[in-house]
Amino acid sequence: MKKLKTFELNRKTVDEYKEADKVPIIIILDNVRSLSNVGSAFRTCDAFLIEGICLCGITAQPPHREIQKTALGATDSVDWKYYQNVEDAIKELKSKGYHIIGVEQTDKSILLNEFGVKKDQKYALVFGHEVNGVSDEALSLIDDCIEIPQYGTKHSFNVSVSLGIVLWEFVRS
């Protein structure tokens, strides 16, 4: 076994990425304060060929050195749009036929492994603030809420880890 070199990975160019068919998922970052988490979201979305990202509220926007440090150029490939408030992003996506899902622990959450991803459905996944989670404003507009099963004492993942877990589950389904 040998580790592959960068040139052996058959990576798409930015132009090839832009032209490729995307997974019909939009990520909504609802007041995500960490620039590293924002950059990681871009990088993860690029890896899974996700349609785009909505940056809402206090979520920082490219270009920014701290975002670039973790995005590694994915801000050039992944489409994104900024919204002053998350409600506008959700309403716009609903009008375009997206099923809006909050990733949050609530009294009505469906466990990620029990949620039935439909291949013919477009999804918008809302990830919230690192401490406060998905905002009440966003929760009032979502169609469903999912949570990642957790078994330890913390019951809390970093938002970038949650994003990777949830996207993998949606993309592989």
CATH assignment of the domain containing 138: 3.40.1280.10
Do the domain assignments include residue 29? Answer: yes
Residues of the domain holding 48:
15-172
Do the domain assignments include residue 5? Answer: no
Do the domain assignments include residue 70? Answer: yes
Q: What is the pLDDT of residue 155?
A: 87
Region 36-42: mean pLDDT is: 98
Instruction: Provide, rounded to the nearest whole percent, the portion of the chain with pLDDT above 70.
Output: 100
Q: What is the pLDDT of residue 173?
A: 86
| Token pair of 108 as six digits | 């009505």
Please provide the average confidence, as pLDDT, over all residues in the chain. Answer: 97
Do the domain assignments include residue 51? Answer: yes
Do the domain assignments include residue 2? Answer: no
Region 143-161: mean pLDDT is: 95
Count of domains for the chain: 1
Do the domain assignments include residue 7? Answer: no
Do the domain assignments include residue 91? Answer: yes
C-beta separation of 63 from 93 below 8 A: no
Do the domain assignments include residue 145? Answer: yes
